[in-house]
């Protein structure tokens, strides 16, 4: 079941993420974007979104098999 993360991109002040050719630049852009998002949105709003991501990762972790 997919859930849409609410609130991302809803702030008019926030800059949009731009794809970069360099992976390091892309990661740094996302860190800056997320830091700005956390600063400009309530704890309840962004923590709900993190909860969805973390729970999805935990649920999906059972799909990986360890090599003997």
43 in a structural domain:
yes
Residue carrying the six token digits 């892309």: 26
CA distance 56 to 49: 11
Structurally, the chain folds into a number of domains equal to 1
- DSSP codes of every residue in 13-60: TSPPP---SSHHHHHHHHHHHHHHHHHHS-HHHHHHHHHHHHHHHHHH
Look at residue 6 in the predicted model and tell me its pLDDT: 47
Look at residue 14 in the predicted model and tell me its pLDDT: 59
CA distance 14 to 8: 9
The model's pTM: 0.50
- In the DSSP assignment, the letter for residue 5 is P
Q: Domain range spanning residue 32? A: 23-54
30 in a structural domain:
yes
For the chain, 68 residues long, give each residue's pLDDT as a single digit of tens: 334 444 444 444 556 766 777 888 888 888 998 899 889 989 898 888 889 999 999 988 877 776 66
């Amino acid at each position: 079941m997919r859930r849409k993360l609410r609130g991302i991109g809803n702030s008019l002040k926030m800059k949009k993420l731009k794809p970069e050719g360099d992976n390091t630049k892309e990661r740094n852009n996302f860190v800056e974007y997320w830091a700005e998002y956390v600063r400009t949105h309530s704890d309840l709003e962004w923590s709900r979104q993190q909860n969805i991501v973390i729970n999805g990762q935990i649920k999906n972790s059972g799909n990986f098999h360890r090599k003997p």
